[in-house]
Structure 1
Amino acid sequence: MNHRDILLVAGAALALAAGCGRRPGDPGRIVLATTTSVRDCGLLDVLIPAFERETGIRVAPIAVGSGEALRMGRDGNADLLLVHDPEGEAALQADGFVARDEEILRSRFVLVGPAADPAGVAGRDDAAAVFRALGTGAAPFVSRGDDSGTHRRERRLWAAAGVQPEGRPWYVSVGAGMMHALRVANERQAYCLTDLATWLAGKPGLDLALLVDSDGADWANLYSVLLLSPERFGSRNHEGARRFLDFVTRGAGREILRRFGEAEFGHRVFTVPPDP
């Protein structure tokens, strides 16, 4: 079991121990409900230890899809969220569950698939046109199918293209994280929508090609940290959550985010917002 798997298992056990999340919080620990992509690419492996060393606060990460992380926030089962679904975040905030929602990272979604590219989508920027071409079924398409931020974006792109993929013989929904979806796409020589960072982490073991890598708005991938409402969830560790947010937006963590990828992939993966 590698370090990131140990973090996930330990975090899940701690969350279960916390029950419904409304018991008095431990000031020395925060529960972070996070998208799987920042775990799978290795970012949490460098970010969390640095935060723990600086603050003495332990982090229990629960790596799930953004949809599930947002539900954990709605139920008060985490101290803070790290997600990449702006529409879902806005809904949670509108319902009064969020005290602060701050963007911390910017990256992009990319499309990978067989190098032969039977759908002929390589190099295109227009997301709707790309997904209409994929909808012809020229090759399989593997979906995470797990209500993650990536899956939610994929559903919006199909809708914009006027394609209903569910139930089609070429559409494969795996109901799992990004790295697993990429491995299934590799086995089936299928197309797959993925975040850039997880693609770079998994690429050495995959026989797939990067086909669409665009800076267009439809492909933008924005990550935010959400602090929950103290009025709704008074027993959560709001001070520890605030310190984590400060660490990644104003402290040493911001530089870790900005430089991530240099050592791992030979180039940076994310950009950070301008100084607050």
Structure 2
Amino acid sequence: MSDSSSKADLSALDFKSATLYAVRVVLHTANFSALNAALDQRMKDAGAFFENEAIVIDATALTENVDWSSLLKALKAHKLLPIGVMANNQNLEAAQREGLTAVDLSSAPSKNIAPTSSETVSTTQGTQTDTSLSSEAASSQNTAHSQTQAPKAPAEPVPATMVINRPLRSGQRVYAKGGDLIVVGMVSQGAEVIADGNIHVYGPLRGKAMAGARGDTNARIFTTQLDPELLAVAGVYRVIEASLETSVRNKPAIIQLINDKLDILPLDSKG
């Protein structure tokens, strides 16, 4: 007799690949008073930009014990959502006891992400596979033909540039993972554009723009009309509370890091 009737209906759920954007909060001290004061000031400066964001806490540089319970309460009080942790030894164990999951961001590029000239429109990224030949396979192939040329390793895939051919409304967020982002249209107040590489906005930039999201300090933001709420490059951000200088407000501009400082320059600047 078939037991098919006892099997669960697999159509009830599916596993799908997904990309989750998360903010990394890097701890430079285990002193909770110092952490709490810095957190209060950071969140005050950023306004509501980081509210309800998923965050990963990076404590890999610390050897002292972190007060995880107090830290998590402080983060949640600012409407931040801790979902993972990077830590070592006793700090990792203590964080896991508080319900955090260990994550590994070591494969994420931290700088010098090469720009792409590809015109391919893409909203997804392909998974990377191991293209190297194992030692066992290498030794078992062509052992009797030592003069056979070894196959060349495939070139690493170039990240695709994401192109958005429409305006972005308040509440919309676009994240270009691993590459550049081009928006042909307006980025409205309340909209967010994020890229691991550069951001190009051919239209008014009135929302939030974060380039170099994984730490690429060479990333830049370009726009034909600058009037943003927040600008960030490689984690260095500036909340625009007052009007910008007349040389760049509502004009073509470029935003880049110079000596770890966020500089906003007119596109026709000779400097």
TM-score, normalization by structure 1: 0.21
Higher relative CO (CA 8 A, sep ≥ 6), structure 1 or 2? 1
TM-score by length of 2: 0.21
| Structure (1 or 2) with the greater helix fraction | 1
Q: Which has the higher strand share?
A: 2
Question: Which of the pair has more CA radius of gyration?
Answer: 2
